[in-house]
Amino acid sequence: MFSLLVLISLFTFAKAAVPRATDCVGTISSLSDVSAAVQCTTVNINSFTVPARQTFRLDLLQGTTVNVLGEILFGNTSWKGPLFQVTGQDIEFKGNGHSFDGGGGYYWDGLGGKGSTKPCPMMRIDMSGTFSDVHVINCPERCFAINNPAPLVINGAVVDNSQGDYPNDKSNGRPAGHNTDGFDVSGNDVVIRNSAVLNQDDCLAINKGKNILFQNNYCHGGHGVSIGSISSNTVVENVSILDNKVVNSVTAFRIKTDKTATNSRVSNVTYSDNTATNCSSYGVLIDQSYPATEGTPGNGVIISDISFNQGATELSVVQDAQMAAVNCGKDSCTGTWDWSSLKTSGGKIGKIQNTPTIIGYTTNPY
Ligand SMILES: *[C@@H]1O[C@H](CO)[C@@H](O)[C@H](O)[C@H]1NC(C)=O
Ligand SMILES: *[C@@H]1O[C@H](CO)[C@@H](O)[C@H](O)[C@H]1NC(C)=O
Ligand SMILES: *[C@@H]1O[C@H](CO)[C@@H](O)[C@H](O)[C@H]1NC(C)=O
Ligand SMILES: *[C@@H]1O[C@H](CO)[C@@H](O)[C@H](O)[C@H]1NC(C)=O
């Protein structure tokens, strides 16, 4: 009896004295280290190559800090991906400027999703917390897909797919990279700031979500900052696009909704203090005829309260491009559209139809 009591008290003492088992540092230097490392709330990632046809998947404990300490490569093979996936709540993910290299040159054929099977998306971000200073290079197809369970801040990310601007031996003279979206967002309470995207498709594409802030980012060479395409039963609300630079892109700012979509809305989108230069097709394009461009619009998506009304947004487009075009369906564009801080120059006056009165925008080049 005595010894049993001693044993019990020793056991209780031991339990109280040791730190929580998760207060450890897990280290990942190969995929086989992952399952043990994610039992710890600090996870260090060294440089390694993820074997082809496997996802580097981190399913983290709440409150984990991740430190990336070296470059991550992925084996090349045609498969559907994703290459990387992180899940967890209140995560602090620190990239420290290290890169995740998707090996795009192996896959690119100028056809994106219509060509050979490519790992897509490359980086699936299903966490909340902060995700900072990660460089992603050479995405085979789409780069970041964001579907966060609670508030997420992405800071200092770089997506560099600029090598995909050039043709390769599979792309028939076209740019080899295609459908290489920078950030695809489907989540609420997302901030993306101080980031850069050099690519061949949307810099940002908001597919659904509320309370989204895109601030102080640089977009080069792609399709610009987009909302959509919006399909049925989808809400996008309260989006702020602030202090961004969009350079050499097809369009600077676009909202596109599917012609056949129903029961959806896009509301409260504010653009302030942005600049865009050398847009090749449009400065601003709001179009309800997707997949056509300026085709016959549908009206099953309500677009309301689209503003360029705080700090000046200045757009310049090439000579044959349109500065701003809006193709709304009957009665589906509503609310207050105050564009008094939008200045456009360089190209043609676009067609604007079925909108409420647009306040303050003069189509004359300044
Ligand atoms: C995959 O191929 C690309 C393009 O050739 C190359 O840059 C990358 O290093 C390759 N990845 C690995 C792990 O070998
Ligand atoms: C709109 O989103 C911003 C983040 O950009 C947030 O701070 C603000 O509270 C949101 N407004 C409403 C009414 O939810
Ligand atoms: C949308 O904008 C209107 C008008 O500016 C404002 O009254 C409303 O609070 C906003 N709602 C959200 C959810 O941001
Ligand atoms: C304008 O953008 C196009 C790509 O759309 C690019 O080829 C061209 O070099 C750019 N011009 C300048 C002056 O940067």
Task: Please check whether residues 193 and 252 belong to one and the same domain.
Answer: no
Residue 186 lies in a domain: yes
Residue 16 has pLDDT above 60, yes or no: no
User: Who lines ligand 3 at CB under 6 A?
Assistant: 237-238, 268, 305
CA distances, 137 to each of 52, 73, 105, 280 (Å):
17, 10, 10, 25
Residues 196, 257, single domain; the answer is no
Closest among 319, 312, 318, 315 to 344, alpha carbons compared? 315
Tens-place pLDDT, residues 253-298 = 999 999 999 999 999 999 999 999 999 999 999 999 999 999 999 9
Ligand 2: residue whose CA is nearest its atom 13: 238
Alpha carbon nearest to ligand 3 atom 6, residue: 268
Q: Using a 6 Å cutoff on CB, does residue 76 contact ligand 1?
A: yes
**22 CB near ligand 4 (under 6 Å):** no
163 within some domain: yes
Strand-pair category, 42-45 with 65-68: parallel
Q: Which of 201, 222, 251 is a domain's end point?
A: 201
Q: Which of 146, 181, 201 is where one domain is finished?
A: 201
Is residue 209 in some structural domain? no
Q: Please give the Cα distance from 324 to 302 (Å, whole number).
A: 19
**Are 167 and 294 in the same domain?**
no
Ligand 1 probe mutation, 73, 139, 163, 169, most atoms within 8 A of CB? 73
Q: Which of 135, 178, 220, 223 is catalytic?
A: 223
The pLDDT value given to residue 216: 98
The mean-pLDDT minimum among 9-13, 34-38, 91-95 falls in: 9-13
Does 211 contact ligand 2 (Cβ within 6 A)? yes
Q: Are residues 190 and 67 in the same domain?
A: yes
* Higher local confidence (pLDDT), 110 or 365: 110
Same domain membership, residue 174 and residue 29: yes
End residue of a domain, out of 201, 228, 255: 201
Residue 366 has pLDDT above 50, yes or no: no
Are residues 264 and 351 located together in one domain of the fold? Answer: yes
Q: Is the pLDDT of residue 62 over 80?
A: yes
Give the pLDDT band (50/70/90) at residue 21: confident
pLDDT-derived band at 11, boundaries 50, 70, 90: low
pLDDT, tens digit, for every residue of 120-153? 999 999 999 999 999 999 999 999 999 999 999 9
Q: Is 207 inside a domain boundary?
A: no
* Residue 117 within any structural domain of the chain: yes
Q: How far is the CA of 90 from the centre of ligand 2 (A)?
A: 20
Do 196 and 248 lie in one domain? The reply is no
Number of helices (H), then strands (E), in the chain: 3, 33
**Beta strands 352-353 and 264-272, pairing class:** unpaired
Determine which residue's CA is closest to atom 7 belonging to ligand 1: 103
> Mean per-residue pLDDT for 47-68?
98
- What is the rounded average pLDDT for all residues in the chain? 95
When divided into structural domains, the chain yields a total of 2
Tell whether the model's pLDDT for residue 4 goes beyond 90: no
Same domain flag for 170 and 275:
no
Q: What is the pLDDT of residues 145-199, one digit of tens each?
A: 999 999 999 999 999 999 999 999 999 999 999 999 999 999 999 999 999 999 9
223 catalytic residue (yes or no): yes
Buried b (16+ CB within 10 A) or exposed e, 204-228: bbbbbbeebbbbebebbbbbbbbbb
- Same-domain pairing of 252 and 195: no
User: How much is the pLDDT for 364?
Assistant: 56
Task: Give residue for tokens 């009665």.
Answer: 331
List the single range of 4-13, 170-179, 294-303, 341-350 with lowest mean pLDDT: 4-13
The domain of 276 spans: 241-366
10 Å CB burial of residue 111 (0-12, 13-18, 19+) is middle
Residues 262 and 310 both lie in one domain: yes
pLDDT at 12 exceeding the cut of 60: no
Q: Is the pLDDT of residue 228 over 70?
A: yes
Question: CATH no. for residue 189?
Answer: 2.160.20.10
Q: Closest ligand to 276 CA?
A: 4
Q: How far is CA 333 from the centre of its chain?
A: 26
Residue 239 C-alpha to ligand 3 middle, in angstroms? Answer: 10
Measured from the CB, is residue 48 less than 6 Å from ligand 1?
no
Tell me which residue has its CA closest to atom 9 in ligand 4.
248
Residue 259 lies in a domain: yes
Sign of CA dihedral 216, 139, 131, 153: positive
**Is 92 part of a structural domain of the chain?**
yes
Does 181 reside within a domain?
yes
180 and 248 both lie in a single domain: no
Same domain for 172 and 265, yes or no, is no
